[in-house]
Amino acid sequence: MRLAKVVLREIPQNLKMLTFMNLVSAIATTALLGLVAAASQEADKVDARLVLMYAVTITLFCVSHNAILVTASRDAERLIHTFRMRVFDAVRRADLVTVERIGRAALHGVLIQDTQILARVLPILAVGAQQAVMLVFLAYYLAYLSPLACVLAFAFAGLAVSIRYRRTRSFKEMLAESGQAEADVFDGLTDLTQGFKEARMSRRRADALVGAVGAASSRARRVNVETKTQWVRNFSLIEAMFYALIGLMVFVVPLVSAEYYKVVVPVTTAALFIVGPISTVSFVTPMVSMAERALSNIEDMERRLAEAAGRWAVTADAPVPAGRAPIEERPADGVATLPAPRSIALAEAGFAYRNDDGTPSFAVGPLTAEFRGGEVTFITGGNGSGKSTMLRLLTGLMPLDHGTLLVNGAPVPAAALQDYRDQISAIFSDYHLSRRLYGVASPDPARVQGLLTRLEMQDKVAVADGAFTTVRLSTGQRKRLALVLAQLEDKPVIVLDEWAADQDPHFRAVFYEQLLPELKAQGKVVICVTHDERWFDLADRVYQMSEGRLRLVHPLPLEPGPAEPTEAQA
Ligand SMILES: Nc1ncnc2c1ncn2[C@@H]1O[C@H](COP(=O)(O)OP(=O)(O)OP(=O)(O)O)[C@@H](O)[C@H]1O
C-alpha cells in the first residue's frame, strides 16, 4: 500500500510513539468498560477506589488520544512540506516544454489540493487506526463476557460495513471526476484573471469564458453533492444498523443463551462502545483511497518531472563533435567545470515540439551558429519562424533532440547545464518581473541608481530593501527594469528577445546606439532578436530565421574564391 510505504519512508520518527499511544488508549477504553461493569455490580454503594481508577483511566485516554492527534497532524504537515519542496525542486529542474505541457492547473492541483487532502486525511486516519486497535481489545473483552454475543455483534457490524462499501464502490471515480472539474474551474479562473482585459473588451468572449467556467463549476457541484449525499445516506444507514445491533444484544441473544442474563449489562455496554469505533473505522477507510489518490498524483507529478530531467540529462550528453574536447567533469561531485564563456554556439542542433501523440508539430534545425564575446548578434525572421525556440535551446531551457551546445568550442555536459544557464542573463518576450531582486544580493546603491538613471527610470522607481519600490509600470518600463536587473547580474552573456519592441522611438535609439555598444565594449556575448532593420548595420552578425532554419546574412559567408595557382603552375 502506497500510503503505508510513504509513512514508513518519510515520517518514521514517531511511529513507535504513536503505536504505544494507540495501545494506551485502547487499554484505557477497555479498562473503562471493566470499571463500568464492576461499578454496576455494586450499584448500592460508591467505591472510591473505582472512582479514582475511573478518573485515572479517563485521563490516560484523553492524554493518549490528544497525543495521537497532535503528533499525526504535525507529521502530516511535515510530510506535506517535504512533498511540496520536492515538487518545487523538481519543477525548477525540469525543462520548459515539460512544465508548459503539464500546465499550471495540474501543478496547482498537486501542490495545493492534493497536499490539503493529505493534511486533512492523515490525522483522521491516525484516529481510525486508534479506533481499529480499540476494536481488537473490545472484541477480546466481549468474547470474554459472551463468545456468542461477540460473534453476533461483529458479524452484524461486518454486514453493516459491507452494505456501506457496496454503496460506495464508485467513490473513487467520483473523486477523480470532482478533481478534474475543480482543475477545469481553476483553468477558467486563470483565463479570466490573466485575460481580464480581453474578456472585458468583448461581451461574447466574457460570456463564453464565464459559461465554460460555470459548466465546470456546475459539474464540480453535481459530483460533490452526489458524493456528500451518498456519504450522508450511508452514515444514516450505518447508525440505524448499529441501533439494531444493540436491540440484537438486548432482545435476541437472551433467547439463545441461558446464562446471558448475568452479563447482559456489560455486554450491552460493550456493544454500545464498539458502535463508535466501527462507525469511525468504516467512515475512515474510504479516506485511505482519497489519501492514496492524492499521494499517487503527487508521486506521478514528481516522476513526470524527474523523467523529463533524466531525458534531458541524456540528450545533453550528446556525442562530442569531431575535433572538440568535452568540458571536464569533476569526478567527486559530478559537476562540470564550466569556463567563463567567450563564445557560445549551437552545432547541428535540432528540436521538435510534439503533440500529445508524440508526432512533431513544429521543428527547428539543424541549427549551427556561434555567438562571440565583444560582438552583437541580431536574429531576425518572420513570426513563428522559430526565433524564441532557438533562444530557448541556446539558453539551455529546453533539451536538444540532437546536436550540441558549445561553450568556447567545447560541448556542455549535462552536469554543467545549470552552470551554463547561470552565465546567461535573458529577457524573454514574456519576461516576468518580480518586485524582489531575487538572486542579486545587496547591490551597490550607487550602481543601482546609475543604472536606473541610464535606463531613464530614476524618477519612477528606486530599490529599497532588496526590492523595486514598484513594478506597476508600463510594459516598456518593466522591460527597462529587467535590463537593470540583467546589468546588476553582470553575466558574460546577455540575450534579449524583442526587447526594443516595447520602447518608444527615443529610447529605442538609445538602446541600439548606446546601450548595445556599451554591453559589447564590456566584452559580453550580446544576442538580440529584433525586427528593427534600421539598426542592422550596428550588428557584428545578423542571422535570419525561416521555418526553423538559421542562415547567416551579415557578414555574408565568403564565397570560395578562384583557386590559388600551385607552385608548379606558377
Ligand atoms: N510551447 C510550445 N509548444 C508547442 N509549440 C510551440 C510552443 N511554442 C512555440 N511553438 C511552435 O513553434 C513555432 C515557433 O514559435 P517561436 O515562438 O519560436 O517563433 P518566433 O519566431 O519567436 O515568433 P514571434 O516572432 O512571433 O515571436 C510556432 O509556430 C509554434 O507553432
Closest ligand 1 atom to residue 389 Cα is 18
State the distance from the centre of ligand 1 to the C-alpha of 137, rounded, in angstroms. Answer: 66
In a domain, 337, yes or no: no
Supply the CATH number for residue 218's domain.
1.20.1560.10
Taking residues 449-475, report their average pLDDT.
Answer: 91
Phi, psi values for residue 349, rounded to 5°: -80, 145
Closest ligand 1 atom to residue 382 Cα is 25
Q: How many domains in the chain?
A: 2
Q: Is 18 exposed, middle or buried (0-12, 13-18, 19+ CB in 10 A)?
A: buried
pLDDT tens for 347-397 read 999 999 988 788 889 999 799 999 999 999 999 999 999 999 999 999 998
Which residues contact ligand 1 via a Cβ below 6 A? 100, 353, 361-362, 381, 383-389
Residue 5's pLDDT is what? 84
Confidence of residue 258 (pLDDT cuts 50, 70, 90): low
Do 194 and 280 fall into the same domain?
A: yes
- Provide the residue range defining the domain that includes 45: 14-305
pLDDT tens for 179-197 read 778 778 887 888 888 778 7
Do 347 and 279 fall into the same domain?
A: no
Residue 313's pLDDT is what? 55
Taking residues 156-182, report their average pLDDT.
Answer: 73
Residue 557's pLDDT is what? 64
pLDDT tens for 93-110 read 788 888 888 887 788 888
State the distance from the centre of ligand 1 to the C-alpha of 496, rounded, in angstroms. Answer: 16
Closest CA relative to residue 427, chosen from 518, 494, 371: 494
Helices (H), 146-195: 147-167, 171-194
pLDDT tens for 283-338 read 787 788 788 888 888 888 888 888 776 665 544 444 445 555 555 544 444 455 67
Local structure of residue 460 (DSSP, 8 states): T
Q: How far is CA 498 from CA 345, 380, 495, in A?
A: 20, 10, 10
Residues 6+ away with beta carbon under 8 Å from 76 = 118, 119, 122, 123
In a domain, 333, yes or no: no
In a domain, 9, yes or no: no
- Distance between CA atoms of residues 144 and 146, nearest Å: 6
To test the ligand 1 pocket, which listed residue (389, 393, 545) has its Cβ within 8 A of the most ligand atoms?
Answer: 389
* Cβ proximity of 400 and 393 under 8 Å: yes
Q: How far is CA 162 from CA 157, 237, 245, 276, 475, in A?
A: 9, 12, 15, 17, 62
Residue 414's pLDDT is what? 80
Residue 558's pLDDT is what? 57
- Name the grid cell of 319: 556525442
Residue 231's pLDDT is what? 74
* Cβ proximity of 212 and 186 under 8 Å: no
Residue 270's pLDDT is what? 84
State the distance from the centre of ligand 1 to the C-alpha of 289, rounded, in angstroms. Answer: 41
Do 280 and 382 fall into the same domain?
A: no
Residue 568's pLDDT is what? 43
To test the ligand 1 pocket, which listed residue (104, 355, 385, 390) has its Cβ within 8 A of the most ligand atoms?
Answer: 385
User: Which pTM was predicted?
Assistant: 0.67
In a domain, 6, yes or no: no
Confidence of residue 77 (pLDDT cuts 50, 70, 90): confident
Taking residues 517-545, report their average pLDDT.
Answer: 94
Geometric angle at alpha carbon 413, from 411 and 418, rounded to 5° = 115
To test the ligand 1 pocket, which listed residue (355, 387, 393, 551) has its Cβ within 8 A of the most ligand atoms?
Answer: 387
Do 286 and 365 fall into the same domain?
A: no
